[in-house]
Structure formats: structure tokens, C-alpha cells
Amino acid sequence: MRKTCLVRAVWISLLMIPALGLSQQVSEHGVKTLSPPGAIKPTGTWNLGTRAGDFVFVAGMRGIDPATNSLVAGDEARVLQAFKNMQLIAASEGATLRDAVRLVVYVTDMYRYRPLVNKAQEQLWGAGPYPPRTIVEVDRLNQDDIVEVEGTFYAPQKR
């Protein structure tokens, strides 16, 4: 009887997370939504990232300053900020940039912005090795932004 009451109390607590305005939730299968302190605020029906087992999946991050929730000025600074926003979400689960197993980058002009993406990666990763990356030119991004980067990271859970 006690065990049943305890299980019920845990489930009720988990169900109360959204009602209390807390942003971190765990599904019945252990998928955890991520919204660490200092991160940007989602602007719609999406979350910043999730942990599923030993992997961390970071949503498309753009060059938004977390302090103001506004796009940063300057193309180079904006691309770098997008990577830093992704890095913050991954780091909240113990992953570093070296733990990236896949990146996808969306740019609105391949010719103009691919070199800036390369430069940001060189600045953040150093001389490499670099993770596998797909870069795609798209017609348009939210707020007419120039870049969006998403990543998958390997971060074994401590058992």
C-alpha cells in the first residue's frame, strides 16, 4: 500500500510540473525536456532540447542573445551565438562540443554564411576533429534570421 501511495505521489508531482510553470519534464519512458538557466526562451510549441538515454538532442538554435531574447547584431556574431546557444543546452547535460555526433546547419545564403559557420566551428572546436555536419540552404528562417544550428550529442548518463 505504501509503495502504491509513493508511486502515485511521484506521478502527481510529475504531472504538476507544467501547472507550476516548471519547464523540465520527464516522459514515462525517461525522455527529459531541457530548459537550463541562461538559455533562450522558446517562442512556440517546441522545447530547447531533450535527453533520451545517453543522447542529448538540441533543437535548432539561432543567434539570439539569451539576456534579451533578441537577435544579436552582425552576421559573424549571430552565427557564433547560435553555436553557443546549442553548446549551453548540451553542456546542461554534461556534453561538450567534442561530444557532438551530428550537426545540421541551415543558412539562407550558402555562399555568404558557410564561411562564417566554418569560422565559428574553428573558433569553438579549434583545429578539430569536427563532428559530421550537414549544411542546407533554405529560403527563409524565423525572424528572417540567417542561420540555425541543431545538434545531437553523446553524453552517457551516470549510472
Per-residue model confidence as pLDDT tens digits over 111-148: 999 999 999 999 999 998 999 999 999 999 999 999 99
pTM, to two decimals: 0.83
For residues 82 and 48, the answer to whether their CB atoms sit within 8 Å is no
Give the span between the Cα atoms of 81 and 66, in whole angstroms.
9
Q: How confident is the model at residue 14 (pLDDT cuts 50, 70, 90)?
A: very low
Sort strands 100-107 and 147-154 into parallel, antiparallel or unpaired. antiparallel
C-alpha cell at 138: 533554405
**One-letter amino acid for residue 25 of the chain:** Q
Question: What phi, psi does 70 have (nearest 5°)?
Answer: -120, 155
Q: Averaged over 13-37, what is the pLDDT? A: 66
Query: Terminus-to-terminus CA distance in the chain, angstroms?
Result: 28
Sort strands 147-154 and 55-61 into parallel, antiparallel or unpaired. antiparallel
pLDDT of residue 122: 97
pLDDT of residue 104: 98
Give the span between the Cα atoms of 95 and 89, in whole angstroms.
9
Write down how long the chain is.
Answer: 159
Q: 129: cis peptide before it, omega within 30°?
A: yes
> Each residue of 57-101: pLDDT tens digit?
999 999 999 999 999 999 999 999 999 999 999 999 999 999 999
Cα 110 to Cα 21, 71, 154: the distances in Å are: 40, 20, 28
Q: How confident is the model at residue 26 (pLDDT cuts 50, 70, 90)?
A: confident
Residue 103 pLDDT more than 60? yes
